[in-house]
Amino acid sequence: MRNRKGMILIIVLAAGWIFGQNGGRPVQAGDAPGDIIFKNTRSFAPVTFSHSAHKQAGLECKACHNELFKRKKGSTDVDNALNMKVLRKGKYCGACHNGKQAFSVRRGCKKCHKK
Task: Judge whether 91 and 99 are in contact, CB under 8 Å.
Answer: no
Q: CA of 94: how far to CAs of 23, 31, 47, 99, in Å? A: 30, 24, 14, 9
pTM (two decimals): 0.67
Question: How far, in Å, CA of 66 to CA of 41, rounded?
Answer: 23
Per-residue pLDDT of the chain (115 residues; tens, 9 = 90+): 556 665 666 665 555 444 444 444 445 555 668 898 888 888 889 999 999 999 999 999 999 998 899 888 777 777 778 889 999 999 999 999 999 999 999 998 999 998 8
Contact (CB, 8 A) for 92 and 82: yes
The answer to whether 88 and 106 are in contact (CB under 8 A) is yes
CATH topology of domain 32-111: Cytochrome C3 (3.90.10)
Map out the domains of the chain as residue ranges: 1-28, 32-111
